[in-house]
A and B are shown apart, each in its own frame.
Chain A
Amino acid sequence: MSGYLSAQLSILCLNIIIAYAIFLPAASGQLNLGAGGFAIIGGYLGGWLNSDFDGLGLAMQLSIPLAALATAAIAFLLSFPILRTRGVYMVLATFAFAEVVAGIVLNLEVVGGAAGFPVDGHADLSVLAPICVMVVVSCFLLMSTRFGLAMRSVHDDENVASLFGVNVHWVRVAAFTLGGLLGGLYGALYGHQYNYIEVQNWNVMFSIYVLLYVLLGGTQSPFGPLLGALFFTVVPELLRSFGAAVGSELIADGRFAIFGALIVLMMAFRPEGIVTRTMLERLMGRGAREKGAT
């Protein structure tokens, strides 16, 4: 495998994981613009736990899961104030959370502040790929359980969901916390993949992009974030190599403009996202769904 390909695949794996981190809350009706905040917490915790010099010097096998779990714990605590907000106010609250986290870490000398932080242990594609597959498979399984059904009913209508005895608050807290877990996992893996992290990696543009992966991919089915992350990761690269192949600087250099136009078109023509449940029904027919349902 060429260096370029494995680097691209690593980015893809990471992007898929962070897409699911935002998909889980989104599937239960939460717009979470805090991807950057979770990534920073997971990335710095993972790096610090792993670092011999500044931190605890734990092995990568420990630092990554511990960072993910700690991020989940923080997400759990934060969910109580944040989930008091709805809709666009939740976007603002999660955005504020990410900014506060960035502000704190920028001023933490123990992790290097604005200079960034070097991470010792290296996680290459052979680590990322299996974890990414595990994340995708568990999210698919999760969405087909009772809990997944509860999440989707909360997304549809909280009042009706509560009629059936769904504990709406707990479902929202759980979805937010699981999102934090995956966000922390993403951050820790990223740090160990690139061996260097800085707060600027996870600025507000990052959080917006991840939310776009999910919203453009579609929140109705667990296929959505997979396709969204794939689209956002692969299309700009394809445009780059296509531009190089046809010798057009316009395409190669202007690929982000073309990409932006594609995003606008998708929002216009598929407001529910690329993957909708109606589309899955058409693709798979009745039999496939029946097995999953009962």
Chain B
Amino acid sequence: MLLEIDSLDVRYGRNHALQNLSLQIDHGEIVTVLGANGAGKSSLLKAILGMVKPAAGQIRFDGADVDRWTVPKRVRNGLALVPEGRQILTSLTVHENLLMGAYPRRDVRAADIDAIYQRFSNLAARRDMSASVLSGGEQQMLAIGRALLSKPVLMMLDEPSLGLSPLLVQELFSLLQQLNTDGLSLLLVEQNTNMALKVASRGYILELGRVVLQGPAVALAADEQLQSAYLGE
């Protein structure tokens, strides 16, 4: 197993964001976590990266117990997050945003950055412009390129399709599949359930911080009761 989460509890004061949540991701897998707003999806990603401290439970990554690791240490060891709303640093240039992605690693070479530019030619054309001039789709590419530069083993994406046109969503998901084929494992948090279940091998459905359903993506996609209850079909 690449990532093993065992009975994780996250609380904000008296508010239970995650309760007794267990989740596994295998090497090379795409796993999606679905659920309505407030289900605890973002809290889960933050807990995995170490940005919030769990009240209980265990997180193992690549065989190591990461509970006491800081965020930088987790990033250096192959965890990366593409945050919700992309979170581009707008007063920095496109290139500097990419350099930020490489920040946790000291072994990043110019060739690594060039590879990102080759993948995203739009970014190459705007490399020295302020990142604030990018369109929503380009910002998402920058956020992904930035995360790729930390050379992750597991990339977590928090609602990457948010605010993108249907065409761009298609492009985004084929990019994610391509990255997966190249060996990257993905944890995909999405509201766009149809697309997410199409690319993922397994899925978890969260409700109020608990896993209410899990299984192979095909089975979840075919489950009519689920579709009507949680996924709004």
Contacts and interface: CB of A to CB of B under 8 A. Distances in A.
Do A and B pair up? The answer is yes
Contact of B91 (A161, A277, A289, A290): A277
Interface string B86-111: 01011111011001110110000010
A293 B96 contact: yes
B110 A157 contact: no
A160 interface: yes
Contacts, number: 77
Interface string B115-132: 000000000000011100
Given A150-B103, A277-B130, A286-B128, A163 B83 contact: yes
A167 to B, nearest CB: 6
Interface stretch (B31-39, B70-78, B159-167, B189-197): B70-78
A152 B91 contact: yes
Given A155-B91, A156-B89, A164 B128 contact: no
Interface string A132-169: 00000000000000100110110111011111111100
B139 interface: no
Interface of A: 146, 149-150, 152-153, 155-157, 159-167, 220, 277-278, 281, 286, 289-290, 293-294
A159 B87 contact: yes
B153 interface: no
B185 interface: no
B75 A290 contact: no
A15 B93 CA distance: 30
B150 interface: yes
A289 B128 contact: yes
Contact of B113 (A149, A220, A294): A294
Interface in B1-55: 49, 51
A211 to B, nearest CB: 19
Nearest to A157: B89
A165 B76 contact: yes
B81 interface: yes
Contacts of B95: 293-294
A162 B71 contact: yes
14 contacts: A156-B90, A159-B51, A160-B83, A164-B100, A165-B71, A165-B75, A165-B103, A166-B72, A278-B130, A281-B130, A289-B93, A293-B95, A293-B96, A294-B110
Given A293-B96, A294-B110, A294-B113, A162 B51 contact: yes
Interface of B: 49, 51, 71-73, 75-76, 81, 83, 87, 89-93, 95-96, 99-101, 103-104, 110, 113, 128-130, 146, 150
B100 A149 contact: yes
Nearest to A289: B128
Contacts of B81: 163
A203 to B, nearest CB: 33
Given A149-B100, A164-B150, A290 B128 contact: yes
A155 B90 CA distance: 11
B89 A165 contact: no
Contacts of B72: 165-167
B187 to A, nearest CB: 15
B25 to A, nearest CB: 20
A153 B128 contact: no
Contacts of B113: 294
B91 A293 contact: no
A161 B113 CA distance: 19
Contacts of B96: 149, 152, 293
Contacts of B129: 281
B100 A153 contact: yes
B75 A164 contact: yes
Contacts of B89: 152-153, 156-157, 160-161
Nearest to A278: B130
A68 B30 CA distance: 55
A165 B100 CA distance: 9
Contacts of B146: 164
Contacts of A153: 89, 92, 100, 103
Nearest to B98: A293
Given A156-B92, A159-B51, A159-B87, 13 more contacts: A149-B92, A149-B96, A152-B89, A153-B89, A153-B103, A155-B91, A156-B91, A163-B71, A164-B75, A277-B91, A293-B93, A293-B128, A294-B95
